[in-house]
Structure 1
Amino acid sequence: MPFYNGSFDRAIECLVNDLKQITYTPKVVVTPNVDHIVRIYDDPQLYEVYKSANYFFADGFPVVLLSRFMSTRIHERVTGADIFPALCELSSNLHLKVFILGGHSTEPAYQTLKKLYPGADIRIYAPSMNFEYNGPEGQQAVRLVNSWQPDIVFCCLGMPKQELWALSHQQELSAKLILCVGAALDFVLGDAKRAPLLFQRIGMEWCWRLFHEPSRLWKRYLWGFFKFVKIVISEIGKHNESTK
């Protein structure tokens, strides 16, 4: 995957430039972390979909660390949790249309976001937990986007639902940017608490989440860590072999 390797500020500039363009096909942003990489490594079909994104912003610190052993060094993390408020603030200043796919309740989320970003024109579609990217709710989301034609679509459904929906419907969606940002909406609404800034800066945000949600996350993180280490060793071996 061609990872973006610039700064966060430069990433936002790139996205702003895309918003200024007249386009008939939206750009799709994914934010790979350890869990994403393990999933797509185990699922070739998911990988084929995932790799068709336009931007790959490294969300996980281990992904940034891995790049130091490869040919392209990633400059810093560019997380969905940081992109979401930055683009919402921009949308408020420029009076852009923002469509959010995800969340648990529409009206309370809408009221909170309108207070935070009063200048943005926001609409939210919160599907059920049984959402399928190509099922009735997935098709309804496509219809809602196309009838409204927003500037920005945020997919907050979690991996892989959000990526499958965004990339499978990319060619038929009337928007400029589609960003797969996972729990970013929950952080902004206060439904989930993000790690303190110190943990974010030293790449230990995962540790904070594990401490607060051990029963839900310990298996995923433990299995994901060992699987990721195997992938790293394999990829470093391939890289070293190709540079001989």
Structure 2
Amino acid sequence: HPNKGKYDLTSCTGFAAGGAPRPVEHVRRIKEEMSWGFPLLGYGLTETNGVGCGNFTENYLAKPTSTGPATKPMVEVGILDDDGKQLPQGERGEIGIRTIANFGGYWANDDATNAAFTTDGFFLTGDIGYLDEDGYLFIVDRKKDIIIRGGENISCPEVEAAAYEHDLIVELSVFGVADDRFGEVPAIVYHTKDNQSLSGDNLRSFLASKLAPFKVPVHYWQADEPLPRLGTQKIDRITLRREYGKHV
């Protein structure tokens, strides 16, 4: 804030974040500009009552891209394969959280509740990550097509469905890209019929009438060629996010 230097902020010694990753630059700047305090980060979900991992003080400064180790002794974090079996240290898989704080289940939805847990009690977060040699958790991707913008969950399929209602669009993909303020924001790549021109501003106005403001994409790219696809013929969202994310 431009007026930060006009006030005595030394009574505030903890600068906590949650809901989305904090950019590494923020971690460094907090300590450099407010040396009397420390940045803090927590990782948890509504289904775990916010309990999960924490990265605090010097440890956060040492590993600013990690969400920290499991909160002992309440929490156990497992990296799981598609069968719910734990993977070795360093391997990537779905993050599972087992804790006394886990919720009992989804209201009146036994199928969703059963799908959310492994047989040995790990809640499946939908996040992909790995544990390093010190037990610190690093989140690298999402198994579910969810963008977390400043703590608000955005469903990629929901935004895509709204954009597909535009008459000019043939195919598209929505994904999250890094953002200094919100952690990540939605972005969209789209290909139009006969390469007709469709500006980002026009598409944004179209989507603004169909989506909540925080769900409307921030970045827009019109692709000249059909979008890349996987062997299953699904649009390759990961490649698009990697390639177009460079231009943010």
Give TM-score, length-normalised by structure 1: 0.25
Kindly indicate which of the two structures has a greater share of residues assigned to helix: 1
* RCO higher in structure (CA 8 A, sep ≥6): 1
Structure with greater Cα Rg: 2
